Amino acid sequence: MHACPPNLPRRESTAERRVAIGLAARALIIEKGVEGLRTRDIAERVGINIATLHYHVPTKEALIALVAETIRHDFRAQAMRRPRDGKTGLEVLRLEFEEFREIVTETPELIIILTELVERGRRDPVIGEIMLPLYDFWRNQFVDIFRLGIRDGSFRPDVDPHAAALIVTGTLSDFWRAWTDFSASIDAVFTQLEHAFTPPIALQG
Amino acid sequence: MHACPPNLPRRESTAERRVAIGLAARALIIEKGVEGLRTRDIAERVGINIATLHYHVPTKEALIALVAETIRHDFRAQAMRRPRDGKTGLEVLRLEFEEFREIVTETPELIIILTELVERGRRDPVIGEIMLPLYDFWRNQFVDIFRLGIRDGSFRPDVDPHAAALIVTGTLSDFWRAWTDFSASIDAVFTQLEHAFTPPIALQG
Amino acid sequence: MHACPPNLPRRESTAERRVAIGLAARALIIEKGVEGLRTRDIAERVGINIATLHYHVPTKEALIALVAETIRHDFRAQAMRRPRDGKTGLEVLRLEFEEFREIVTETPELIIILTELVERGRRDPVIGEIMLPLYDFWRNQFVDIFRLGIRDGSFRPDVDPHAAALIVTGTLSDFWRAWTDFSASIDAVFTQLEHAFTPPIALQG
Amino acid sequence: MHACPPNLPRRESTAERRVAIGLAARALIIEKGVEGLRTRDIAERVGINIATLHYHVPTKEALIALVAETIRHDFRAQAMRRPRDGKTGLEVLRLEFEEFREIVTETPELIIILTELVERGRRDPVIGEIMLPLYDFWRNQFVDIFRLGIRDGSFRPDVDPHAAALIVTGTLSDFWRAWTDFSASIDAVFTQLEHAFTPPIALQG
DNA sequence: AATGAATGAGAGTTCATTCAT
DNA sequence: AATGAATGAACTCTCATTCAT
């Protein structure tokens, strides 16, 4: 009566609970969008009471911020783990494309929620502060790639790294938005993007 | 007695009211997003009772559909009014870019709401049926432009019209999304997009 | 401009409109009950505007009173048209039973609405004043029948006319209420009611 | 500290709340009918917020179903608690009559609400499924009584149990409907019903 | 750390009724 | 006699949040 039973460790730490809550929230955002997200649904999916949910995550805004944090964490982790030593800019760009294709087909939730939260971030400053820099981070990765490629000659010298990066991220983020009937043409788009920035010789070689 | 009293023209026709309601809804969507749209706010802004609002537009879903229709109408009207006779593909593309810049700076609401509704249309089939074809319509305009340009030689022969169109629409629609500090660089992006599809010679000519 | 066009006599007299409104209301009460009655539905069925409906029948209460009046009128008319001269009480009772069977099968609306309005009449004094006397009128018809039959010997002398009348009207009005699976047994009930009030000899004759 | 404070026992269990809600709903149905039942009125009478009411009983339909259940429960409990061992059919019938008189005079709400709900049950299938079988249950009790009485000779052998039961339930249920000035004559009706089904000899014995 | 109960504010919708023409 | 437009009051229901334990 004075000690917790060893077989039923119901009380978990806040850290663990927050992870579970974040995951449940992500799943629900995918199903119904941020606008359709209900705290009660999250609590139910985690298997806890709504009051308990509020104990761990005080407000709904804090909850969405939590999700934004996890997305940022995952996104950065995924970006960091790819080695690029000794590759040309074009090769790295191709790696990115492959990566993107994998994400879209295997774990599309990352991009879905990213888009949802960026959208929300335009009106919600709390989310905006988390997500908008992340978007910049993503784009800056491509800026680096283009800079690299211009230096090593795998991209044309007249390519503007920032503009090109914006074109690539724009295309990619919009791509999956409209992928009702275009999902098959993803290769054509990748090829086209390459041609857009590579020197004429590369086309004939 | 010979004309309507100029001081209190309270009773208006349903057609006029629907226009006013649609405009008020558009303004509110810009302010608070589709998710933050409240029928009571619309009624207040139009200056009518909520019941009156429901008299003219029976449900909230019909209301959003009404907005979607007006957006579609405006978008198509804007697309139709530009003459392109005797122009090359590249020239028409430049016209489109100019047009886009004007819209973004002068009447950005068209694109803001378009994006909001396309987003919503992915989950709401009623809106989806109105908006998604519109997105295709927009993209197909660029497909035609690229086909034209390939024929007249202003674009490279190896350009894939569909892929190129997707890149352009993706870039444009994503552009304004992240335009916190990038709005100045719009020219660089336009230039870069041109270079991406024009032959090397054209760059120097 | 000063005379009504002969081909389109849209404006009808209030008397005619009230008849049409009453009929439409009756039909709708049958479909959805008094509780489900909506003025807009009535107007639509009559083919007029709601404002026009209120012009002819100022309030909903007056509308229901109107229906009650037509029911009373029809009910009384139906009761009056049957000749009973020279018949015994039992014979008249049998006539009533036949009549009831006809009404239930052919024009059940009379009884349906009667029941609905009597029910409502318990809380709405306006309706109560119209319907409750009508219910008494119906029962009193049976009181007269039993008095006649007791005199002519076709009913037992110990029959209490008022009690017997209440039993008959109660049975009949409840009968149709529960006629989901009992509609076939209506003959058995009629026979049983006869036996309940006729002398033992009649049973064996 | 050692017991719940006697002055402010605000938080009660759902089971208790549902009972209180059911009782309040019953009282309000008696006052204003099912059609006049408002969730806010119930909440107010129970002394809780409307949202709290919805917490315990999710929808209005569920609320009415709850009332229907309590009525069914009470009705069955009342029917079950009377011993009938060793009694003749006529004696049991008289017991039923006494019982009915008690209910009508002491706790008339049972029958009032029963009638209301049966009426509603004809259009609302959820309520219908609860109430209509109850009506059959009531009638079948009388079928059993008549069968018993026919066997023991307290009723005439030519009595049709089903028809007789329908006559009795019809009379009883209609009786209280019109009991403005007839409540005094209830004894006459009971006597008349007895005579209707008992053998001539029994009347004189 | 956890929970059942409670709540205020507000959502969309309905309906009988009225106004101006 | 007729109508389109307008309305106030009320309805059921939802949701993030809080309280007491």
Q: What is the DSSP string of B98-130?
A: HHHHHHHHH-THHHHHHHHHHHHHTT-HHHHHH
In the DSSP assignment, the letter for residue B182 is: -
Q: Are residues B24 and B89 in the same domain?
A: no
Q: Which residues of A touch B180 (CB under 8 A)?
A: 132
CATH for B33: 1.10.10.60
3-state SS of chain C is CCCCCCCCCCCCCHHHHHHHHHHHHHHHHHHHCHHHCCHHHHHHHHCCCHHHHHHHCCCHHHHHHHHHHHHHHHHHHHHHCCCCCCCCHHHHHHHHHHHHHHHHHHCCHHHHHHHHHHHHHCCCHHHHHHHHHHHHHHHHHHHHHHHHHHHHCCCCCCCCHHHHHHHHHHHHHHHHHCCCCCHHHHHHHHHHHHHHHCCHHHHHC
Residue B147 covered by a domain: yes
Higher-pLDDT residue of A9, D61: D61
The token duo for A124 is 């919600």
Evaluate whether residue C202 is within a structural domain.
no
What is the Cα–Cα distance from A178 to A181, expressed in whole angstroms? 8
**What is each CA distance from B30 to A135, B100, B147, in whole angstroms?**
22, 18, 35
Based on C-alpha coordinates, what's the Rg of chain D? 21
Does residue B64 lie in a domain region? no
Mean pLDDT of chain D: 87
The number of beta carbons lying within 10 Å of the beta carbon of residue B93 is 25
Q: Residue B142 has what pLDDT?
A: 95
Instruction: Tell me the shortest Cα–Cα distance from D8 to chain C, in angstroms.
Output: 38
Q: Is the same domain home to B41 and B100? A: no
Three state DSSP letters for D96-143:
HHHHHHHHHHHCCHHHHHHHHHHHHHCCCHHHHHHHHHHHHHHHHHHH
pLDDT at D3: 41
Instruction: Count contacts between A and B (CB, < 8 Å).
Output: 106
Please say whether the beta carbons of B53 and B21 come within 8 A.
Answer: yes
Q: State the pLDDT at residue A200.
A: 80
Statement to judge: residues D140 and D76 lie in one domain:
yes
Query: How is A37-88 classified by DSSP, letter by letter?
Result: --HHHHHHHHTS-HHHHHHHS-SHHHHHHHHHHHHHHHHHHHHHT---TT--
Q: Which residues of C touch D191 (CB under 8 A)?
A: 160, 163
Q: Report the C-alpha gap between C57 and C39 in whole angstroms.
A: 10
Residues A104 and A179 in one domain: yes
CATH number of A143's domain: 1.10.357
Same domain, C73 and C95: yes
Higher local confidence (pLDDT), A96 or A80: A96
Q: How far apart are CA C16 and CA C62, in angstroms?
A: 16
CB–CB of B170/A174 below 8 Å?
A: yes
Please tell me the predicted confidence (pLDDT) of residue D97.
Answer: 93
Q: Is C4 among the domain residues? A: no
Q: Is the pLDDT of residue D203 over 60?
A: no
Cβ–Cβ contact A119 with B under 8 A:
yes
Nucleotide with minimal C1' distance from the CA of A9 is: E1
Q: Judge if B34 and B75 occupy the same domain.
A: no
Interchain CB distance below 8 Å, C167 and D169: no
Does D108 fall in a domain?
yes
* A123-139 tens-digit pLDDT: 888 899 999 888 888 88
* Residue–nucleotide distance: D73 CA to F18 C1' (Å): 37
Bases along strand F below 7 A from a protein CB: 1-21
Among A132, A159, A171, A173, the strongest candidate for a mutation testing the B interface, having the largest count of B CBs within 10 A, is A171
In the prediction, which pLDDT does D193 show?
Answer: 95
- Inter-chain residue contact B169 with A174, CB threshold 8 Å: yes
A38: containing domain: 11-58
Contacts (Cβ under 8 Å, ≥6 apart) of D69: D22, D130
- DSSP 8-state symbol, D35: T
Cβ proximity of C71 and C114 under 8 Å:
yes
Confidence of residue A1 (pLDDT cuts 50, 70, 90): very low
Q: Is the CB of A13 under 7 A from strand E?
A: yes
Mean pLDDT, range A142-156, rounded to an integer = 96
B188 and B114, same structural domain?
Answer: yes
Distance CA A42, CA A50 (A): 8
To the nearest whole percent, how much of chain B has pLDDT over 90? 57
pLDDT digits (tens, 9 = 90+) for B95-142: 999 988 888 888 888 888 988 898 889 888 989 999 988 888 888 999
| B11 CA, F6 C1': Å apart | 8
- The answer to whether position A2 is within a domain reads no
pLDDT digits (tens, 9 = 90+) for D113-156: 988 898 889 888 889 999 988 888 888 999 999 999 999 999 99
Q: How far apart are CA D159 and CA D147, in angstroms?
A: 9
CA dist., res. B110 & res. B73, Å (int): 11
pLDDT given for residue D59 in this prediction: 97
Q: Is C8 exposed, middle or buried (0-12, 13-18, 19+ CB in 10 A)?
A: exposed
Query: From first to last of its 205 residues, what are the pLDDT tens digits of chain C?
Result: 444 444 444 567 889 999 999 999 999 999 999 999 999 999 999 999 999 999 999 999 999 999 999 999 988 888 787 777 899 999 999 999 998 888 888 877 888 898 889 888 888 888 999 988 888 888 899 999 999 999 999 999 999 999 999 999 989 888 776 655 555 578 899 999 999 999 885 444 3
- Mean pLDDT in residue range B66-79: 91
Nearest to A21 by CA among A40, A6, A7, A8: A40
Contact (Cβ atoms closer than 8 angstroms) between residue C72 and residue C130: yes
Residue D185 DSSP class: G
Spatial CA neighbour of B155 closest among B96, B92, B86: B92
In this structure, what DSSP letter does residue B73 have? H
Q: Are A54 and A110 found together in one domain? A: no
> What is the b/e burial string over B95-111, where b = at least 16 CB atoms within 10 angstroms of the residue's CB?
ebbeebeebbeeeebbb
**What is residue A183's predicted lDDT score, i.e. its pLDDT?**
57
Alpha-carbon gap, residue D8 to A128, rounded angstroms: 46
pLDDT of res. C9: 46
Same domain, D120 and D31: no
- Cα separation of D174 and D13, whole Å? 39
E15 C1' closest Cα residue: C38
Which nt is closest to the CA of D61, judged by C1'? F12
DSSP A182: -
What is the pLDDT at residue D201?
55
Mutate to test the interface with C, among D177, D179, D185, D190 (most CBs of C within 10 A): D177
D158 touches chain C (CB under 8 A): yes
Please, how many CA atoms are within 13 Å of residue B56, restricted to the half-sphere of its CB? 23
Give how many domains chain C has, as a whole number.
2
Mean of all residue pLDDT scores within chain B: 87
Same domain assignment for residues C34 and C88: no
Alpha carbons C101 and C179: distance in angstroms, whole number: 12
Asked if B93 reaches chain A (Cβ–Cβ under 8 Å), the answer is no
In this predicted structure, the answer to whether residue A48 has a pLDDT above a threshold of 90 is yes
- Whether C63 is covered by a domain: the verdict is no
- Using the structure block, give the residue that is written with the tokens 């992870």: A19
D17 touches strand E (CB under 7 A): yes
**Residue of chain B with shortest Cα separation from A167:** B171
Does residue A84 sit within a domain? yes
DSSP A185: G
Residue type, A30: I
CA dist list (Å): B154 to A177, B90, B202, C159:
30, 6, 8, 110
Task: Give pLDDT tens digits for D180-192.
Answer: 555 567 889 999 9
* A84 and A108 co-located in one domain: yes
User: Is A167's CB within 8 Å of B33's CB?
Assistant: no
Chains in contact with B, where contact requires at least 3 CB pairs less than 8 Å apart: A
Average pLDDT over residues A145-155: 96
Same domain, A73 and A54: no
